[in-house]
Every structure is written in structure tokens, then in C-alpha cells.
Structure 1
Amino acid sequence: MPEVDGYVHGDFSWVDLCTEEPDKAKAFYAALFGLTFRDETDGSQVVYTLGLKGEKPVLGLLEKPQQMCEMGIPNVWETYISVDSADEALAMVGPAGGTPMGPVMEPSGAGRMVVVADPTGAVAILWEALGQDGAELKSEHGTLCWNQLLTSDVDKALAFYSELLGWTPIPLDMEGSVGISHNGEMIGSAGPLPMEGIPPHWAVYFAVDDCDATAAQCGELGGQVIVPPMDTPPGRMAQLMDDTGAMFWVITLNPDFSMD
């Protein structure tokens, strides 16, 4: 299923990397995932970069705003979730227990977005597509395949997202994880934070053909292996950090595994 033909309200649709060193990050992910990059601008000084597999957009990259740098916010992969209306979603955030992080924005005419924090502090971007639905390929080498919420209170966070997006939490027999079901399909998961001192966040997983080879290549490119490759029911996975300090997961998917 790598090709994706559009997204509906509540789907995970896109990820992008917010980094202080966009050129360095482009070189890293071009080598690691085999992507090419295309810079786009709306005529202002803001440049947004599309990561392409072939000719299809699969992820984004942008330079971290100076204000975020001054606040000490690390380089980070951001998770986008499709909504029918950014304005309607924004109006629901507060009553559902979340916190809007700003007004609705409309970057480059591609869509309308609002950044929100769930009740535990994890940040996500709600995306109303106008010209760009999201990733056109998923679950093949170098493309997004999974989104996982790591949080201090799984039930509280998922109650928020369920009210906002229509998700259904599904218990999983996987170290306290909870599945996220949407329109009858398992689209992501949530679980407790792995250790103290880590703030709640959305983790992103990219599919790779060979987890061990990708982890080794990450080190050769100046990145780090945070969690070495390990076997899990969904596949062999590892947590990596790129050479700008942003963390992400890679996984060689187990074709025989199903959460259904």
C-alpha cells in the first residue's frame, strides 16, 4: 500500500523536521533514505523543503524559528493530523482539555494549520489540506509508517484526541501500549514514557529495508544509535538521532504482523 490517495479527518498525514541546520539535515536524510529535496517559498523569507521519493512528497523540512532556538526547543520531527476544518478543530481544543499554541495559519497556500498541545503537553499539528494532502507514499524505505504518542498519562491524552478526531483507543498486549483505531483501521499507538525526564511527544517511525544497515549508516553519517536494533512483533526497529540532534525510529516491518 505504499501509495496514498488522500486523507480524511483524523488520519496521520505528514511529518516534518524542524531544525536549526536544514542543509545539514538534507544531506543526512538524502544519504540515509535515498530522498531528494525541493525548496519551496511563498515569496517571503520562509523556505519549506519537500522530501521526495521519486517525484512524490513524503516528508518536510524547515528551519527552526529563532524564537524556538532561544527557548531551547530541540530539533524535532513534528506530527501532522488531518482535519476537515482547522477553525472548527481549534474551537474544540480548549473544551476537550488541550491548549492551542497559536492561531490558525496558512503557509504557502498548501493548507491551513494549527499547533496544539494535548493535556499532557505533547504537541501535534492539525492540518486542513488545501493544495497538499500529505505524504503520497508510506511504509516503504525512507517513508513514514507509524506515529506513536509517548506520554505521562495515556488515558488522559487519548481522551482528548478521541473527542477531537474521532479515534478509538484499543488495548494492546505490548508493554502497556494502546492502539489508535480510526475508521476501523489501526493507524498509530500510544504508550507510557520510557524514562523520567523525557517530555511527552509524538515519535515518528520510518520504514527501512534493513534496520541494522540503516543504523550502521546513521553512525557513518554523523548521527547516533540511541536504541540499538531489536526484534519486536511489528518488526526489527531502532531509535536513531540525526547529525543535527533530532531523534526518530526506523523499522523493518514484519510482513506477517497484524494489529487487527
Structure 2
Amino acid sequence: MPEVTGHAAGRPSWAELASPDVKASGEFYCRLFGWYVYTLTVPELGDYDVFTLGDVQGPEVAGMQSLADDAQPPSWTCYFRTDDIDATLDTIKAAGGRELVPPTDVSDLGQMALCTDTEGADFALWVPGNLKGAGVVDEPSAMCWVELACRDTEEARRFYGKVFGWQTVERDYYTPYTNFKVGDWSVGGMVSIEQLSRYAYEAEPHWIPYFWVEDCDATAARTAELGGRVLLQPTDIEPGRYSVLADPAGARLAVITPARDDGPREAR
């Protein structure tokens, strides 16, 4: 499998699960995707779990930590690479977003900050150290997409265009859909919650990661067997067959079986 040695600025680079029970969540995702999980002890920040493909030596796929507060809902957070975290935070605040967690050194792994956009959707920034981000993407059992669900798509275009310099391309799948792009590279997508609620579930504005699976229907069925929920039944769209899921704690994610392989993402 092609492994990733780095992520360009403005692109998704990592996904992190906040769980009320990291042991149970680790078992669920390892059984669902065939991941391995190991624990790092980060000085002053406590334990941090890392999911990998294969075994402890395999490429990193995603991270996991305990919920900081019992009042927080379990969730996946999408991280975006930046080369200057302070300047990006200044831009976020000037564009109407908020800083939730200030720049924080995560040992020698890198530096992070947690933010929200103008509608309250959480996302995070990452400046890599020894952890460049996901060590593999766009492969089975790895992250292959990130998606924003929001109420005001025009406002989201403005905000993320200011923050990351993203351009947009409009698509028409089962509902109007927006691709965020940097140059020729698609970095993620956006859907209106109003449209999404017709087909799937009610939700507040949020980002979710997509993970590539070989069989979307089998993964959805396996999710239910393991105690999770299928929020959107497997559905065919032009890029492939996908489903929106919730793990046993309620954290949302999506899986997709691509319709075909057209080569690198920038060519799609």
C-alpha cells in the first residue's frame, strides 16, 4: 500500500476519536476495520491511543483519547495541516470562528489547536512533529475523505475559503453537494443539513471522516452486530456506495466503497 510521508497545508491530515470508553471503542474499531491500537503516554496530557493498519509497526490511521468532559458528546474530529498555527488561528477568529483549545504541544508528535467555524462545527489544526498525520490514506481501512454538514453552505464557502484558501466545485449526487479544493486536489466535501435530514438523520453542524471499505453493505451490517447504528443505509452515489454510521458510544463516521479507481484523487 502507498504510505504517506507528509500532508500539504490546508489538507486533512488526521482524524481523532473522543470516546467515553477508549477500551470499548478500541475493540469496536479494531473488529470493524481490522485495525491495531497501541497507547502512547504523552507528558502532561495523559494517554493517547493510535490506530494502525496491521500491527504496531503498521502505518498510523487515526487517533483516540478519552473525552475531556462527560458533558461532551463522543465524536470524531478532523484535523487540517497548517504551517503556522498562530496565523491560521488569527484568520479563523477574524473570519468569525472561535478558538476552543489554544496551540498545544503534544510532546514531540506535533502541535494542535481545536476550533469551531461560524456555525459551531469543530475542527482541529495540526503542525506535524514526529507524527506527520495519517501514515496511509485512500486505501481500504484508511481515511479517504472528510465532509462538513452545515446549515449555511454559502457562509461555509466564505469561511473556509478565508481560512484555508479552498475553492469550491458544485456537484449533484443524491442531493446538491460541494467539493472543497486546493488547486486540482479535492480536500473534502460539504452537504446541507437540511438536505441531509431528508435522507439520514438530524444533527448539528459537524465534520466527519470517511473510511474506505471493500464492502459497504457488509461493513454497515457488521457495525450493527458490534453494537453501533446505521444512520444512513448503504446508498449508491456517483463516487461509490456509502453509509453513515454511529459507533456504540454515538460518534458519527462514514464508510464508502469507491465505484472505481480513477487514479490519484486530484484526477477525480
TM > 0.5 = yes
**Residue 177 of structure 2 aligns with which residue?**
177
1:108 CA drift (Å): 2.2
Structure 1 CA distance, aligned partners of 2:2 and 2:205? 29
**Residue 131 of structure 1 aligns with which residue?**
130
Query: Quick check: 190-199 or 85-94, which moved more?
Result: 190-199
Structure 1 CA distance, aligned partners of 2:52 and 2:11? 21
**Structure 1 position 251 matched with structure 2 position 256:** yes
1:256 CA drift (Å): 5.2
**Residue 238 of structure 2 aligns with which residue?**
233
> Taking every aligned residue pair, what percent have the same amino acid on both sides?
32
**Residue 8 of structure 1 aligns with which residue?**
8
Q: Please list every run of 5 or more consecutive structure 2 residues that lacks an aligned counterpart in the other structure.
A: none
TM-score scaled to structure 2, two decimals?
0.90
Question: Matches of residues 1-260 of structure 1 in structure 2 within 5 Å?
Answer: 2-44=2-44, 46-54=46-54, 55-66=58-69, 69-70=70-71, 73-174=72-173, 175-193=175-193, 194-195=196-197, 198-255=203-260, 260=268
Q: What count of residue pairs does the alignment treat as equivalent?
A: 256
Residue type at the aligned position of 2:91: M
SS at the partner of 2:89? helix
Q: CA RMSD, aligned part only?
A: 1.7
Structure 2 CA distance, aligned partners of 1:8 and 1:228? 33
1:109 CA drift (Å): 2.3
Structure 1 CA distance, aligned partners of 2:167 and 2:45? 41
TM-score scaled to structure 1, two decimals?
0.93
C-alpha deviations, 1:125-163, integer Å up to 9, x for none? 011112211101112222111101100111111211111
Structure 2 CA distance, aligned partners of 1:62 and 1:11? 22
Contact map agreement 1:41 1:108 (CA 8 A) in 2: no
TM-aligned CA distance change 1:169 to 1:45, over 3 Å = closer
Residue type at the aligned position of 1:249: A
Residue type at the aligned position of 2:169: I
Structure 1 CA distance, aligned partners of 2:107 and 2:53? 21
1:22 CA drift (Å): 0.4
Residue type at the aligned position of 1:178: T
1:225 CA drift (Å): 1.5
TM-aligned CA distance change 1:215 to 1:112, over 3 Å = same
Q: Please list every run of 5 or more consecutive structure 1 residues that lacks an aligned counterpart in the other structure.
A: none
Query: Quick check: 49-58 or 92-101, which moved more?
Result: 92-101
TM-aligned CA distance change 1:220 to 1:98, over 3 Å = same
Structure 1 CA distance, aligned partners of 2:94 and 2:21? 37
